[in-house]
Amino acid sequence: MKSVNLVTLTILIIGGFNWGMVSWLGEDLVSFLVGSTSLPGRLVYLTFAFAALYQLLPLWLSFRMEEPVVQADAF
């Protein structure tokens, strides 16, 4: 599961970098490389979406887990 988390986080970082380029430079790297309306371009965007959906699971689990309570020793 750790390897899947690393892969999906990497995909999300690449996707975030792409959207950062769109907002700052007006250039879409995905559409430049494969075309945004082509099938490969749509599959890249779909991969970003699936990675984001998958990362909802670890996020949800992190909110459900209770953090360990550390108590200081009384003197």
CB atoms within 10 A of CB 58: 14
CA angle at 45 for the pair 4 and 52, rounded to the nearest 5°: 40
Give the pLDDT confidence score for residue 12 in this predicted structure. Answer: 92
Give the pLDDT confidence score for residue 4 in this predicted structure. Answer: 87
- Domain extent listing, the chain: 2-57
Which residue in this structure is represented by tokens 């879409």? 28
List per-block mean pLDDT (blocks of 10 residues) for the chain, which spans 75 residues: 86 90 87 82 90 87 70 63
